[in-house]
Amino acid sequence: MNFREYLKNNIVVLDGGMGTLLQKKGLLPGEHPEAWNLSHPEEITEIHKAYYDAGSNVVNINTFGANPLKFSDSELQEIIKAAIQNADKARKLSNAPQEKFIALDIGPSGRLLKPFGDLDFEDAIEAFAKVVRIGVKYGVDLVTIETMNDCYETKAAVLAVKENCDLPFIVTNAYGLDGKLMTGAEPSAMVAMLEGLGADAIGANCSLGPAQLIAVAEDILSVSSTPVAIKPNAGLPKVENGKTVFDVTSDEFADIVAKMCEKGVRIVGGCCGTTPEYISKLCAKIKDIKPSEITDKNISCVSSYTHAVEFSDSPVLIGERINPTGKKRFKQALAEHDIDYILREGLNQQEKGVHILDVNVGLPEIDEPAMLKEAVCELQAIINLPLQIDTADFTAMENAMRAYNGKPMVNSVNGKQESMDAIFPLVKKYGGLVVALTLDENGIPDNVEGRIAIAKKIIAAAEKYGIPKKNLIFDTLAMTISADRNAAKVTLESLRKIRNELGCHTSLGVSNVSFGLPARDGVNSTFFTMALTNGLSAAIMNPYSAEMMKSYYSYKALSGLDENCSDYIEFSATIETTTVAKEQATSVKAPTADNESIASELQKAIIKGRKESALTLTRELIKTVKPLDIVENEIIPALDVVGKGFEAKTVYLPQLLMSAESAQASFEVIKENMQNSGEKQESKFNIVIATVKGDIHDIGKNIVKLLLQNYGFNVTDLGKDVPAEVISDKVCELDCPLCCLSALMTTTVPAMEETIKLLRKTAPGCKVMVGGAVLNKEYADMIGADLYAKDAMEAVRQALEL
């Protein structure tokens, strides 16, 4: 019988701890346990046999830390081969009667993935893939991915398995006392992602004892439509009379884990500190427990690397602002590769309370597959909302779905065969909840029946790919009522039928309905309310529209979805403050007649670091004063005052930065204005700035960048951990007279020196300025830099002198 068949009707028993047993047999601290497969095969076989004898159905071979980051390819090959042989020998030696399987064991790589660590996602996949390929070559029955404490690394390991074999795989994560993974994922987020990826079983192991894992197990059971696996530790280790003991006994362990089986857990075993005795007692306890049936929880959801967002009665808001359509400033940002602009648009929408961000970066002149992936990764570095990947380019879609950390929302598929053939295989491979548009080769039907027929066709096609309808969300297409007075009615009626008769969730791009009309906000928000009462589950909308947000909060309060109306009341307070802010803005407006007083007001706002006032004042000022005059006569003089204060030590770094941010807010208004009027901004010259290869510190670099931008330099930021070649290429491409490099660690200064050497060859005309905690003037001279800046103001001064 194979593992999948066995799992259908049985509770599966895994093995227990390996490391603690090896230590008892003499494994030294810091020694690789995996090397024992070759040096101590008898000991390893003995442990495996003891677990089979105790009743384990599955033993994990001793390959937890066997990966190419720790071993050479040939060592890895030998270790895994021997590990499988050791387990196979044990299986043959054991006379125990139960079904016995051998699992390839994959533990964490030991490195954190980018952006907060230095391991690239694709490199992680390749590292795990090497292990999987060797395991498959020498023959295992299944794969266990365990103890992963990061969502993204878990996904890398799963893709490595899926791309290299068809073996069943169990995925268990290490949850902390707060019930989350080390990098923040809740159980529901892990279940969403792993079910999307098609795991055979999902669960938790290690880090906690059985009692502390009960809550996590219950969380997983409540949302999982897949068998659940739990492998607790024998509590926590303690040292008693020079001996290591774990504080949960085998009897307590067996009691608690057996209770988990009664609640529905289908795969059980032990982790650190557990021994064959624990497994044997567990087997005795569960032998009469009937395996619980696996039921479909029928949850439609997407997830980020921290949490899942479920589509049910409470409407889900999807922010539509990351999209260049009709936005000149956004198009400029894309053309200039201004990622920060996109990130700010994301953060602002998050502050407005959206649940998901739509991400569309499609412009004819840009490389969409590269740009979309980059936007997704950069957004996920700082925003924990799930993303809706929005593109018509199938390559861009695959790149972004692959790199996405979690279960993405996919926008979109439609009834055209070409679309379904391209999108459904991606959803099957990477997981995802797909927006399905009710249109096909013949266009958008103008009647309800036509749209329902397409919806049915899409459901049937998805099913063929093994994608259940809970992972489809239908968009019945809001068309403008200015062209067809019945357009909204057909959309709403289709929506209602799909929700009620087909039992699927629905989504709409609400704003389209008013295209071509004046004062669109009112029409949009009324349409939104109408759609909600017809069963709309989610809306792609503009969260900056107060009317839309009012509709949303009112609907929730009126539909019994807002306990004590508390969300509504909290929201209403923000409307009031907006009004107050407006009044304040008007009050500053009063002295517009007198240009001089306003000018000094803006300078004061910048010097004091009042971002909001600087913004409002610039908006006012730009109505009467030329944008470049504002820069020349207001912003730069104000920055100079603060800069001088900083150098004289009367102003400290936080104040300098708050001023710089206020100046940046003013610049943003000026940029937008010039973009709209077509005026060209003259920048001083191009500068490339980067933190060198190997270093992941970038606070100092960001500060220098901000100040250089303030003073009108055109700064290209390559980020942190940047290879010398990438810096050199960019400097050559932009023909920069200046390149700024940062390093914080003594260990990364050599990378800085290397970068300078390369620049001397490729761009002899480019001056190099260096800075960072470990550097000083002498050190900078030694590695061949032209300039050294001890702080951001000095960097600006030196750049201005060039």
Binding site for another protein (CB under 8 A): 28-30, 107-108, 110-112, 115-119, 147, 149-150, 174, 176-178, 182-184, 206, 236-239, 242-244, 340, 343-344, 347, 381-383, 608-609, 652-655, 657-658, 660-661, 694-699, 702-703, 706, 745-748, 751
Residue 213: CB minimum distance to another protein, A = 15
If the CB atoms of residues 176 and 737 are measured against another protein, the closer one turns out to be 176
Name which of 701 and 767 has its Cβ closer to another protein: 701
User: Residue 332 Cβ, how far from another protein at the closest point, in Å?
Assistant: 18
* Least spacing, CB of residue 35 vs another protein, in Å: 12
Closer residue to another protein in complex, CB, 271/477: 271
Helix (H) or strand (E) holding 532: helix 520-533
Q: State the minimum distance, in angstroms, from the CB of residue 517 to another protein.
A: 35
Place of tokens 């029409």: 523
Closer to another protein by CB, 149 or 545: give it.
149
Q: Nearer Cβ to another protein, position 558 or 696?
A: 696
In the numeric block, which tokens belong to residue 394?
A: 């199938």
Q: Considering Cα of 766, then 767, then 769, then 770, what sign does the dihedral take? A: positive
CB of 655 to another protein, least distance (A): 6
Distance of closest approach, residue 29 Cβ to another protein, in angstroms: 4
Strand 409-414 to 201-205 pairing = unpaired
The closest of 110, 90, 108 to 100, measured between CA atoms, is: 90
Angle at 652 between CA 688 and CA 791, to 5 degrees: 30
The span from the CA of 248 to the CA of 364, in Å, is: 62
The order of strands in the sheet holding 767-771 is: 714-717, 686-691, 738-742, 767-771, 787-788
Please state the closest distance from residue 253 (CB atom) to another protein, in A: 19
CB of 793 to another protein, least distance (A): 12
Would you call 103 helix, strand, or coil by DSSP?
strand
CB nearer another protein, residue 628 or residue 745? 745
CB of 624 to another protein, least distance (A): 29
99 vs 668, beta carbon nearer another protein = 668
In this complex, which beta carbon is closest to another protein, that of residue 245 or of residue 502?
A: 245
User: Which residues neighbour 721 within 8 Å (Cβ) at sequence distance 6 or greater?
Assistant: 114, 118, 691, 692, 693, 694, 695, 696
Query: How many other CB atoms sit within 10 Å of the CB of residue 550?
Result: 17
Q: Which is nearer to another protein, 184 or 291 (CB)?
A: 184
The nearer residue to another protein, 249 or 348, going by C-beta atoms, is 348
Smaller CB separation from another protein, 362 or 750: 750
Closest separation in Å from C-beta 397 to another protein: 26
Name which of 292, 282, 216 is nearest 249 in CA terms. Answer: 282
Closest to another protein by CB, 405 vs 554, is: 405
Residues with Cβ within 8 Å of residue 576, at least 6 apart in sequence = none
Nearest-angstrom CA–CA distance, 562 and 570? 11
Query: Shortest approach of another protein to residue 245 CB, angstroms?
Result: 9
Q: How far is the CB of 349 from another protein (least distance, A)?
A: 13
> Can you give the three-state secondary structure of 704-731, one letter per residue?
HHHHHHHCCCEEEECCCCECHHHHHHHH
CB of 338 to another protein, least distance (A): 11
Shortest Å distance, C-beta 697 to another protein: 7
Cβ closest to another protein, residue 52 vs residue 152: 152
Q: How far is CA 341 from CA 334, 338, 772, in A?
A: 9, 6, 26
The Cα-based distances of 522 to 349, 488, 510, 514 in angstroms read: 20, 15, 12, 9
Q: How many other CB atoms sit within 10 Å of the CB of residue 339? A: 19
CB-CB contact of 168 with 3 (8 Å):
yes
Identify which of residues 383 and 636 has a Cβ nearer to another protein in the complex.
Answer: 383
Residue nearer to another protein on the CB measure, 27 or 261: 27
Instruction: Take residue 159 and report the two structure tokens written for it.
Output: 């893709």
* Alpha carbon distances (Å) from 666 to 544, 624, 672, 797: 20, 15, 10, 22
Q: Which residues face 443 on adjacent strands?
A: 440
Give the dihedral sign, CA 254/260/263/266: negative
Distance CA 390, CA 794 (A): 43
In the complex, the smallest distance separating the C-beta of residue 71 from another protein, rounded to whole angstroms, is 14
User: Closer to another protein at the Cβ: 380 or 412?
Assistant: 380
Sequence-separated (6 or more) residues with CB below 8 Å from residue 98: 13, 55, 56, 57
CB of 616 vs another protein, minimal distance in Å: 18
Distance between CA atoms of 275 and 17, rounded to whole angstroms? 6
- Min dist. Cβ of residue 610 to another protein (A): 9
As beta bridge partners, residue 717 has 689
The neighbour count for residue 367, using CB atoms within 10 Å, is 10
Q: Residue 474 in contact with residue 450, Cβ under 8 Å?
A: no
Q: Tell me how crowded residue 648 is: count the other CB atoms within 10 A of its CB.
A: 8
Between residues 264 and 609, which has the closer beta carbon with respect to another protein? 609
φ, ψ dihedrals at 340, nearest 5°: -55, -35
Residue 303 φ/ψ, nearest 5 degrees: -145, 160
Q: Which of 183, 231, 228, 187 is nearest to 207 (CA)?
A: 231
Distance separating alpha carbons of residues 30 and 52, to the nearest angstrom: 28
Residue closer to another protein, measured from CB, 182 or 734: 182
Cβ count near 39 (within 10 Å): 11
364 touches 324 (CB < 8 A): no
Q: How far is the CB of 24 from another protein (least distance, A)?
A: 11
